[in-house]
């Protein structure tokens, strides 16, 4: 800015004020002076533009660093990569930072043998990990595996809760339907009584009948315009269906996206936990992972069984007609199917690696049955 003001002052002095004083305006000397100054002016503009660009980038960098950068205090975990990694895995309030931590764990489990060996060998620490939920463990494998299993079991729990909500919605719908039928019977009796008492009176719905209840009209619309069981003409049911189903699909998609909001983090956790468990067979010289093999199998199988049930009974409303794949977007069920395929691949890898030692893997009968069913499907 200072350069620009200096240039402006020189320009006005030489080419505006001075020519008017010595009568050089609109003469050949004046135009010769302007032509020689043009290169200097172009140079000044280039310099000022470059300075302005650098200033803009500096301001943008300052704003991004101030508002969008997480300042991570690592005083207590200085020079401790496992503690830093665990701290990232626990960043539930900052999903982006947590996703980076699980991505790093996935890379370690897949490609970094040195870091894997360090994780297996990091036990009986003098300074325990800061995790009250897991009783502040002193083993890196214990804390990392628990973080992965918590995420996997959390997805299974969310799917089960959504299934329970679906069952509760169906029970509520059944109660509303029974109430609706009772109200219709009472209204019919009242109508017959009024017709007998007042033959010339036009009988209409009154506030004393079922119209006072808000649920009545919802059940009535369901009875009239349901795509399959409605008693209205087909074309009327079809028109109402085309206006109501988009709302239903958005509702299904919203609930499904809420269950699978941590889709990529969950995939990283499943694949990282599987790779660390499989490669421990040859790299874990201390046998730290052996105690957790059953827990790894059970957590993955629990999640698989929950998502199998979820994909067969997605969260539909009272307007569903029994076939979720026909009346919902295919993309709605893509997230659970992706996780199901990742879980199946993980179980195949675990079984292939530990097949000679499966007699030492203690699982419940339900988990054994589901694992055998999966292996038979794969064969």
**Tokens 């064969």, located at residue:** 379
Helix 263-283 / helix 113-121 crossing angle, nearest 10 deg: 80
DSSP state of 333: G
- Taking the C-alpha atoms of residue 86 and residue 102, their distance in angstroms, rounded to an integer, is 9
The closest alpha carbon to 13, from 33, 29, 32, belongs to 33
The phi, psi pair for 78, rounded to 5°, reads: -65, 130
pLDDT of residue 189: 65
pLDDT of residue 280: 92
DSSP state of 359: G
* DSSP assignments along 15-70, one per residue: IIIHHHHTT-TTSHHHHHHHHHHHHHHHHHHHHHHHHHHHHHHHHHHHHHHHHS--
pLDDT of residue 155: 93
pTM of the model: 0.64
Name the token pair of 137.
């463990």
pLDDT of residue 307: 92
**Tokens 């301001």, located at residue:** 59
- Taking the C-alpha atoms of residue 309 and residue 274, their distance in angstroms, rounded to an integer, is 23
- Which residues are CB-contacts of 266 (< 8 A; sequence separation ≥ 6)? 151, 152, 155, 260, 339
The closest alpha carbon to 211, from 203, 220, 202, 198, belongs to 220
The closest alpha carbon to 320, from 198, 229, 202, 217, belongs to 229
How many other C-beta atoms can be found within 10 angstroms of the C-beta atom of residue 275?
19
What would you report as the CA-atom Rg of the chain, rounded to the nearest whole angstrom? Answer: 36
The closest alpha carbon to 277, from 124, 102, 128, 145, belongs to 145
- Taking the C-alpha atoms of residue 370 and residue 359, their distance in angstroms, rounded to an integer, is 16
First and final CA of the chain: distance in angstroms? 75
pLDDT of residue 203: 41
- Taking the C-alpha atoms of residue 136 and residue 158, their distance in angstroms, rounded to an integer, is 26
Is residue 153 a contact partner of residue 316, using CB atoms and an 8 Å limit? no
- Taking the C-alpha atoms of residue 121 and residue 139, their distance in angstroms, rounded to an integer, is 9
Helices (H), the chain: 2-12, 18-21, 28-67, 81-89, 95-111, 113-121, 140-197, 214-225, 234-259, 263-283, 293-312, 324-327, 334-354, 365-378
pLDDT of residue 241: 59
How many other C-beta atoms can be found within 10 angstroms of the C-beta atom of residue 248?
17
Compute CA distances 176 → 172, 237, 293, whole Å.
Answer: 6, 21, 48
Per residue of the chain (379 residues), give pLDDT as tens: 666 667 666 666 655 555 555 555 555 555 555 555 566 667 777 777 888 788 888 888 877 777 666 555 544 545 678 888 888 888 888 888 888 899 999 999 999 999 999 999 888 887 777 776 777 777 889 899 999 999 999 999 998 888 887 777 667 766 766 766 666 666 666 655 555 554 444 444 444 444 444 555 555 666 665 655 666 676 666 666 566 555 555 566 777 878 888 889 999 999 999 999 999 989 988 888 888 899 999 999 999 999 998 887 766 554 444 444 444 445 567 888 899 999 999 999 999 999 888 888 888 899 999 999 998 886 5
């Amino acid at each position: 800015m200072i350069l620009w003001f200096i240039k402006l002052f020189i320009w006005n002095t030489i080419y505006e004020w001075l020519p008017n004083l010595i009568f050089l305006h609109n003469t050949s000397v004046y135009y010769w002076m302007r032509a020689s100054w043009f290169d200097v002016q172009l140079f000044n503009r280039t310099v000022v533009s470059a300075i302005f660009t650098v200033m803009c980038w500096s301001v943008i960098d300052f704003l991004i660093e101030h508002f969008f950068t997480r300042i991570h205090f690592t005083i207590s975990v200085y020079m401790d990569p496992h503690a830093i990694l665990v701290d990232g895995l626990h960043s539930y309030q900052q999903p982006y930072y947590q996703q980076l931590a699980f991505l790093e764990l996935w890379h370690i489990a897949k490609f970094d043998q040195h870091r894997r060996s360090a994780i297996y060998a990091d036990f009986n620490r003098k300074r325990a990990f800061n995790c009250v939920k897991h009783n502040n463990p002193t083993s890196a494998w214990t804390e990392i595996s628990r973080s992965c299993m918590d995420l996997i079991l959390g997805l299974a729990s969310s799917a089960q809760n959504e299934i329970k909500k679906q069952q509760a919605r169906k029970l509520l719908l059944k109660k509303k339907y029974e109430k609706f039928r009772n109200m219709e019977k009472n209204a019919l009796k009242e109508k017959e009584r009024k017709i007998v008492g007042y033959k010339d009176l036009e009988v209409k719905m009154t506030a004393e009948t079922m119209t006072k209840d808000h649920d009545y009209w919802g059940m009535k619309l369901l009875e009239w315009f349901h795509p399959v069981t409605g008693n209205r003409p087909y074309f009327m049911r079809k028109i109402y269906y085309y206006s109501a189903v988009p709302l239903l699909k958005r509702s299904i998609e919203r609930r499904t996206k809420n269950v699978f909001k941590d889709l990529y983090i969950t995939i990283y956790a499943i694949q990282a936990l599987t790779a660390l468990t499989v490669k421990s067979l040859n790299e874990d010289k201390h046998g730290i992972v052996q105690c957790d093999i059953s827990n790894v199998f059970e957590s993955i199988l629990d999640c698989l069984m929950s998502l199998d049930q979820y994909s067969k009974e997605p969260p539909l409303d009272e307007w569903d007609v029994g076939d979720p794949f026909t009346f919902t977007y295919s993309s709605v069920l893509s997230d659970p199917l992706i996780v199901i395929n990742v879980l199946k691949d993980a179980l195949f890898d675990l079984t292939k690696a530990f097949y000679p030692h499966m007699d030492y893997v203690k699982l419940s009968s339900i988990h054994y049955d589901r694992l055998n069913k999966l292996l038979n499907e794969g064969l």
